[in-house]
Amino acid sequence: MFELTDHTADLGLHIVADSQEMLLAEAGAGLLAIQVANPQEVQPLHPVGIVLPRGDAEELLFDWLSELLYLFECDDWLFARFDVTLDERQLRAVAWGQRPGPSLQLDHEVKAITYHQLRVTQVEGRWEAELIVDI
């Protein structure tokens, strides 16, 4: 589950999940909800593989969302589904999505993922994250 929160000139994202992999997948869905006014219309048509080195939880969340943003800005991908796996060394994922089409309404232009107020915690088996997105 993710929730968008208001922040002065930016948007906040609060994410809750049962595992770190699900937290990252929900964060990807949250990013899409910021980028597109009708995220439910984005179809998981094409797979794109992503591999990132594993740092601490905050670093990994930052790197993951930054990579998704990079793939949008440079290759025009919007992602609707995420299959994320983690091991002790890296994140491996397949992000499923499409390129923007006439049925998709782009909403906010995301300039960057920020470290401002970035936190990831695990409490009693649940993962929670907070972060600010620069729009």
Tens digit of each residue's pLDDT (9 = 90 or more) over 65-81: 999 999 999 999 999 99
Q: Are 36 and 78 in contact (CB under 8 A)?
A: yes
State mean pLDDT over 95-111. Answer: 94
Domains and CATH numbers, the chain: 2-134 (3.55.10.10)
Tens digit of each residue's pLDDT (9 = 90 or more) over 8-32: 668 999 999 999 999 999 999 999 9
Give the count of alpha carbons within 13 A of 75, CB side only.
Answer: 12
* Alpha carbons 88 and 90: distance in angstroms, whole number: 6
Q: What is the reported pLDDT for 1? A: 80
Give the count of alpha carbons within 13 A of 69, CB side only.
Answer: 21
pTM for this model (two decimals): 0.92
